[in-house]
Amino acid sequence: MIAVIQRVSHASVSIDNQLKGQIETGFLILLGITHADTRDDVEWLSRKVIGMRIFNDADDKMNLDLAAVNGDILLISQFTLHASTKKGNRPSFIEAARPDVAIPLYEAMITQLEADLGKPIQTGSFGADMKVSLLNDGPVTILIDSKNRI
């Protein structure tokens, strides 16, 4: 499971010109799920994201987590994070999980993030053509791969 975490001042997602979700201060998370991912990846990644201390403290050091800044989460599924670009110029998405595997894990991630954060999060819609807008704060962008824990 791959997560691209962007520290944002504002982020939103629209589907068919309709606003689906939006946040102010917090994390925009792009989530890629592969066929080898499990509930263990969901739990580990959620804890890692929620504990990520990338907000500035009074000394302007990245030392605060989401709870400390009363931040929110906008979670977007993105199978293209598992693109293979080794051959040619057309990416292969063979490592991305099929919907029968990915949807339950995406829904489990929503539930886990809400439990770990202690409040509801905003989301896109799995498999939809989404328009995502954000104001990256910093910019700060962190990549976490649940298969690379060491």
- Name the residues annotated as catalytic: 78-80
The CA distance from 3 to 88, in Å, is 25
Lookup: tokens for 95: 């490592």
Q: Which residues contact 63 (CB under 8 A, 6 or more apart)?
A: 53, 55, 56, 57
For 93, the 3-state DSSP assignment is: coil
User: Measured in whole angstroms, how far is the alpha carbon of residue 66 from the centre of its chain?
Assistant: 14
Q: Which residues contact 92 (CB under 8 A, 6 or more apart)?
A: 83, 84
Lookup: tokens for 120: 């509801």
Decide if 118 contacts 67 (C-beta within 8 A).
yes
